[in-house]
Structure 1
Amino acid sequence: MASIRKRVLKPTKTGKRKTVWQVDYKDNQGKRRHRQFPTRREADEWLVEARGEVAAGTHVAATASKTFKEVATAWIADCKANGRERTTTDVYEQRHRDYSGPLWDDRKIGTLSVADAKQLYEDILDRSRSHEIVRRVRIEVGAILQFAQSKGWLVKNVIHLTPYKVKKRKKRPPMPTVEEVQALIQATTEQWPDYLAMLFVLVFAGLRGSELRGLCWSDIDFKRMLISISRRADKFGVIGDPKSESGTREIVMNKTTAKALKEWKLKCPKSALGLVFPTSRGTPQNHANLMNRWLRLAQIEAGVTRIRIKPDKNGKQISVGVAKYGMHALRHFCAALWIESDFSPKRISVMMGHSTVAFTFDTYGYLFEARMNVDKARDRAESIVMAG
């Protein structure tokens, strides 16, 4: 029989006595267990749940459960065994090491509560000063506890029971203007001609950096004027599947891009993988090298810069011009170009590799709206019905 009794614990060094409510019960194997709560109400509520879990054979005593560190380690190992990319598992390990680990590693997962989850969010926010970091760590901690549930080590996932809601400020994605892209094309043509085809693929096809580095000649159909995306290269140069199922797609190719690619193919370094933009050794390019050896330099040469304040050799604060955009900004520019060119929202979503059209509208909705002439559309709707 389970019971709840009031206990007054031994006095602390300051002479203060703590009162708790202790639940005594038997677990699935008939072993006697107990758990303490600060109030009778919490003890009653927990006992009701525990009785149901014991009856269903799913109960795991808090003191017998695994530590968060043990479960996190097992989850990451499972991710690796199931083919998760090294880049991804490295991020999992880093976030566990920097955020969730120091806060929860010694905790038994069976003792975690909704209050603990809320405190975790607050502590991570204090450490990172970033709501986005809290959101990402929450997803991973939730996955760790879900893994524990699948193994029968845990009944309740307190992360899934504890949402983290923050009103996000919608930021418009950074992208260059048409004039800035024209200046970048001119600078690349004059000083970095071997990167011109790459620039056109980024500007007119909107590839992600990893997709660009994993692009093969077999993916380019000059007859149909299409670029097919079916693979990507991670930061370690390992070729794998696209970012998501929707990442596998076909993108229309214009004449300018096709011409530049045909010219580049004649002098492209040989690659056993058949890469379009390999290194001189035929291996996948490194993102940092592309930025440092071309894109940042080309922006500075083209005057596409922003001012950064930094100390000089003597510690004096000076203003310097630095490259204004990252490579992903060219992808946003391509989306804006397609919108301006009257591609349908669905076609743009597909060619961008977005999971849904809703995501495309959430990201670029202001551009669609800016092109609409409400008065003209109103009059057009009227004329369709009333004409004649």
Structure 2
Amino acid sequence: MATITKRRWKTGKGEEREAWVLAYTDAAGKRHKEQHERKRDAEARRTEVTHQVVSGTYRAEASSTTVDDAVTDYIKLLTDRRDRGEHVTEHYLRTVEGQLRNYVAPTEEHRAKQPEKTRIIFDGGIGPVKLSQCTAKVVSDFRDRLRESKVGVVTTRRILGSLSRALQNAVSNDLMAINPAANIRVTGKRGEGAKKVVAPSKADLAAALAQAKGSLAIRMRLSASAGVRASELYALRWRHVAFNAGELTVDGRVDAYKNEDTTKSEAGVRHVPLSSAMLAELRKWKDAAKSSEADELVFPNSKGGFLDHKNILKREFRPLLAAAASKAKESGKKFKPFGWHSLRHFAISTWIEAGLQPKTIQTFAGHSTLALTMTRYGHLFASDSHRNVMDQISSSIFPAEPVDGAQMAHDTVEVL
């Protein structure tokens, strides 16, 4: 039985205040009281509690535990898993923590750790919300506030995904009965969030490569021919290069914090054929290496460790692009700068141009699904003339030289 009563009292200043008190008994016979400022909130809570008690989904802890608490517990869980080496990388941990602490349950402590130029200020979080009041409507409204704040479709989906996993952890700890974020969908305007890429032109890549020397030139050519990501490139060891078979094996990556891990997905483990020219260049690079044992890195830093991608971009790649742009300007030509990841896009675009089948391209690219390949690169595939295709099909239906219908009828009468 749940009842609502009105409570009035006077403050120390003599001001009269009022609130609505909800009293109810849970399935274990324990008595509970909750105070609400508005009567409609108390009534809504009574309906919710009554349903939870009857259905057996009531959790007493949910009335005192907040979303912020659930977020804190989940981040601690991920931290413990990282420390135990249970498939949680430093990069993943920091990414999830950023999503939860920047948007879901922002804290001044977390904001203070961010550089002022990139600091995210979002005041539409749901950290103070009690788990007992964290409904699908609350999560949906949170999603809408994200979108109203110009947070993109993809980023919003990732934030809600992290929230859903945090709340699912709360469910596992018996702090709440159901996960209200489990089925929340994020939709955008047509075409919004689509990742159709544009690869560098052959002329722009050639202009950049003309300025590249040594290790940088080899890394750029390998990325632009084998489609390896920067994180995968830095994890390559000589055992991954099969000179006799003429292929490159990709089975690992290095994150931004120099932690080595498996590829992004199982499909990321792949074997990519290499051209004779690329193999020859790698052979020459190996012969000149200080150490070329099977487990040695193909592209180590000066101390034999992993390269730092941010450092590579700052000290090598961006100055290279600036030099290529300056050279093009002197020659009266145009040069369009591109990002390092565009080298991967270039590789995949050349595979498409060469006529490789979509499924083969998916395999070489290491995409988890064919749908992902087609979403990002489908616009690069050659478009057949639909009318020409229909004409080819019709050749098996119609005779090579169609007979005039009127003449055909006349000939039939003649025979009869």
Give the TM-score category using the shorter length.
0.7 to 0.9
Cα distance in structure 1, aligned partners of 2:328 and 2:255 = 29
Counterpart residue number, 1:364: 377
Cα distance in structure 2, aligned partners of 1:159 and 1:362 = 26
1:95–1:137 Cα contact (<8 Å) kept: yes
Cα distance in structure 1, aligned partners of 2:239 and 2:397 = 50
Is the partner of 2:210 in helix, strand or coil? helix
Q: CA deviation at 1:128?
A: 6.2
Structure 1 residue 348 and structure 2 residue 356: aligned?
Answer: no
Give matches, 1:100-139, under 5 Å.
100-102=104-106, 103-125=125-147, 129-139=151-161
Q: CA deviation at 1:62?
A: 5.8
Counterpart residue number, 1:46: 48
Q: Give CA deviations for 1:57-99 in whole Å, capped at 9, x if unaligned.
A: x421266442323322221222233330001111222233322
Is the partner of 2:211 in helix, strand or coil? helix
Unaligned residue ranges in structure 1 (runs of 5+): 308-320
Within the candidate set 331, 339, 353, 2:352 is matched to 339
Cα distance in structure 1, aligned partners of 2:14 and 2:349 = 67
1:174–1:325 Cα contact (<8 Å) kept: no
Within the candidate set 238, 251, 263, 2:259 is matched to 238
Distance 1:11 1:283, change over 3 A: same
Give matches, 1:121-200, under 5 Å.
121-125=143-147, 129-167=151-189, 168-169=191-192, 170-188=194-212, 192-200=213-221
Distance 1:179 1:373, change over 3 A: farther
Is the partner of 1:38 in helix, strand or coil? helix
1:269–1:282 Cα contact (<8 Å) kept: no
1:282 counterpart letter in structure 2: G
Unaligned residue ranges in structure 2 (runs of 5+): 107-124, 401-416
Cα distance in structure 1, aligned partners of 2:336 and 2:307 = 20
The alignment-based identity, stated in percent, is: 23
Give matches, 1:237-276, under 5 Å.
237-270=258-291, 273-276=295-298
Counterpart residue number, 2:65: 66
Distance 1:302 1:43, change over 3 A: closer
Aligned pair count?
Answer: 366
2:48 counterpart letter in structure 1: W
Counterpart residue number, 1:314: none
Is the partner of 1:66 in helix, strand or coil? coil
Distance 1:179 1:279, change over 3 A: same
2:268–2:366 Cα contact (<8 Å) kept: yes
Q: CA deviation at 1:355?
A: 0.8
Is the partner of 1:187 in helix, strand or coil? coil
Distance 1:271 1:117, change over 3 A: farther
Cα distance in structure 2, aligned partners of 1:139 and 1:327 = 28
Distance 1:106 1:41, change over 3 A: closer
Q: Give CA deviations for 1:17-68 in whole Å, capped at 9, x if unaligned.
A: 8785x65332243211245561687356414521234xx3x42126644232
Q: Give CA deviations for 1:286-305 in whole Å, capped at 9, x if unaligned.
A: 11122223322222222399
With 100-109 and 229-238 compared, the bigger mean Cα shift is at 100-109
Q: Give CA deviations for 1:227-279 in whole Å, capped at 9, x if unaligned.
A: 11111111122211111111111111111211111111122343784111111
2:59–2:177 Cα contact (<8 Å) kept: yes
Counterpart residue number, 2:89: 85
Cα distance in structure 2, aligned partners of 1:163 and 1:306 = 47
Give the structure with higher Rg (CA).
2
Give matches, 1:189-228, under 5 Å.
192-228=213-249
Is the partner of 2:221 in helix, strand or coil? helix
2:215–2:299 Cα contact (<8 Å) kept: no
Cα distance in structure 2, aligned partners of 1:76 and 1:173 = 33
What TM-score results when the alignment is normalised by the length of structure 2?
Answer: 0.77
Cα distance in structure 1, aligned partners of 2:328 and 2:277 = 29
Q: Give CA deviations for 1:139-195 in whole Å, capped at 9, x if unaligned.
A: 11111001100111111322225433223523531320111122222222xxx1332
Cα distance in structure 2, aligned partners of 1:40 and 1:154 = 20
Cα distance in structure 2, aligned partners of 1:305 and 1:148 = 58
2:79 counterpart letter in structure 1: K
Distance 1:110 1:271, change over 3 A: farther
